[in-house]
Amino acid sequence: MELWDAYDRNFKKIEGITLIRGEESSIPKGIYHMVVFILVRHVDGQYLLMRRSPGKAYPLYWEATAGGSVLQGESAIEGALRELREETGIIADTLEEKERFVEDETHSAYYAFVCITSCDKESVILQEGETCDYKWADKEEILAMGDDELLSQTMRKYVI
């Protein structure tokens, strides 16, 4: 069972409330769980794209981010570093926060980060059941991808 801390729309933790993954429909209005996503840019300017596994929602779409829900007791940075490591094998020293926003319909409080890495581009590790392929792409390729190929459209604004 995956447990989450509860937050208000200003990203302030609400003490005494624990949320449970899979029970999002029962989260009261005005309460959110924290979600992080990370755009990975190599020092050479290319971005990491991960292909979603066939069994997931939006199968075989490319994602320009790693990410997921922050676990109970984790900060946004800790959750982002964990998700990045789990989904790509990349160990980042620092992340640059780009944006925070809430989505009322999903009860999610989002943090968007960018990771600049000098990792060996062939060392990316796929997370079983989550991703089935990866590639490095330049800005032009990402911006040319349509809604039927690229799932994480939000991150396009950080592609420089």
CB 88 within 8 A of CB 48: yes
Overall domain count for the chain: 1
CATH of the domain at 83: 3.90.79.10
Spatial separation of the C-alpha atoms in residues 12 and 79, rounded to whole Å: 16
* Residues spanned by the domain of 95: 3-158
Q: What is the pTM of this model?
A: 0.90
- The per-residue pLDDT string of the chain (160 residues; one tens digit each, 9 = 90 and over) reads 899 999 999 999 999 999 999 888 889 999 999 999 999 999 999 999 999 999 999 999 999 889 999 999 999 999 999 999 999 999 997 899 999 999 999 999 999 999 999 999 999 999 999 999 999 999 999 989 988 888 876 777 888 7
